[in-house]
Amino acid sequence: MDYRGQQIFIIHPDQDFREELVRSLRYNEFETFGISETDADVISKCRDPVVFLHISDDEGWNWRDFTDLIRRFEMPQKIVALGTASVDLPEGFDNIIEYSKNNFLESILSYLGEINARGHRHYVRFGSQNASIATFEFHKDARRYAGVIHDISIAAMSCTFKPEPENLGHMTVDEMILNIPDYRTSLSGRFTSKRVVAGQIIHVFQITGNISDQIRNHIYDFIYSSLETKLSLH
C-alpha cells in the first residue's frame, strides 16, 4: 500500500446519499471521491483504490457490469458492496456492508481502519514541495512576512518565504492570512520545523486553535477540487 493511503470511491445512484457519505469520510480524513458508473476509467489511474459500490435488485442499476469492468483493471484494488446480504454477489467482492440507520458510517470507518486505508498519514493534503498552490502573509512585531504555500491539509502547510527571514524559530502567529483561489481567510498557529530541499528552505506551519466550519469547508473544498482536477473528474 502507498504510504499516502488509499483512494476511496463511492458509487451510488442517489447523488444526495453519495455526497453525504463522501463528505463524512472526508471529515474523517480519508481521501474520498464520489463518482458515477460512467467514470470507471478514473479508478484505473489511481493507487490501490477502495471502491464502495451500491448493490440492489433494481434492474435499472447495472452494478454487475461495472464490477466486471473494474475487475479487468490490472491493479491492486478492493471492492466493497453496500447493500443487503439478500442480494446474490458474484465473485470479486472483498466485503459487504449492510445498510443500517444506526451504525452504517461506523461500519465503513471500522472497515477502513482495519485495512489501514489512511496509510502513514493522518490528514489528506494537496500539493508538493515543487508546487506553488497559494500564498500567505502575516505581521509580527511591525514586520510583514509573506511567501508561497507548497502543500496544505486541514492541520498544517509547508511554505517558503520571500525573502527568507532570519531567526524565525518556532514563531507563533495569531493571524496568518491565507490566500487560496477565490477565498481569503486567517488562521492561527506556529512554525514547527524546516528542511532544505534543492537549496530551498521549506517551513512547516502547524495550524492551531478552533477552525470554524466555514473555514474548514473552504479548505476542504480547495484541497478536493484540486485533487479532483488531477483525477480529471472536472
Across 7-21, 73-87, 115-129, 143-157, least confident range: 73-87
- Top mean-pLDDT range of 8-12, 166-170, 197-201: 8-12
Same domain, 15 and 104: yes
Last residue within a domain, chosen from 114, 148, 165: 114
Judge whether 32 and 22 are in contact, CB under 8 Å.
yes
**Residue 167 binned pLDDT confidence (cut-offs 50, 70, 90):** confident
Query: Among residues of the chain, what percentage have pLDDT more than 70?
Result: 96
Q: For 177, list phi and psi in degrees, rounded to 5.
A: -85, 120
In a domain, 20, yes or no: yes
Q: Which residue has the cell 447523488?
A: 15
Identify whether residues 81 and 146 lie together within a single domain.
no
Q: How high is the pLDDT of residue 68? A: 80
Residues comprising the chain, all counted = 234
pLDDT tier at 1, thresholds 50, 70, 90: very low
Whether 30 maps to a domain, the answer reads yes
Give me the mean pLDDT over the 186-207 stretch.
94
DSSP state letter for 90: P
Q: Which of 89, 114, 139 is the last residue of a domain?
A: 114
Cell of 35: 463518482
Mean pLDDT of the 197-208 span: 93
Mean pLDDT over each residue of the chain, to the nearest integer: 88
Angstrom distance (rounded) from CA 51 to CA 85: 18
Q: Does the structure show a pLDDT above 80 at 86?
A: no
Closest CA to 40 of 63, 17, 16, 6: 63
- Distance (Å, whole) CA 155 – CA 185: 15
Please state the rounded mean pLDDT for residues 18-44.
89
Does 184 lie in the same domain as 132?
Answer: yes
Is residue 7 predicted with pLDDT exceeding 70?
yes
* pLDDT (average), residues 78-99: 84
Segments in the chain forming alpha helices (H): 15-27, 40-43, 63-71, 104-114, 213-230
Looking at per-residue pLDDT, the higher value among 56 and 101 belongs to 56
Domain containing residue 72: CATH number: 3.40.50.2300
Same domain, 107 and 152: no
What domain range is 66 assigned to?
A: 8-114
- Per-residue pLDDT tens digits for 121-130: 899 999 998 8
Domain boundary among 65, 94, 114: 114
Instruction: Give the pTM.
Output: 0.88
Q: State the pLDDT at residue 30.
A: 96
How many structural domains are present in the chain?
A: 2
pLDDT score, position 234:
54
Block residue for cell numbers 456492508: 97
Model pLDDT for residues 32-73, shown as the tens digit of each residue: 999 887 777 788 878 789 999 988 877 777 787 778 877 777
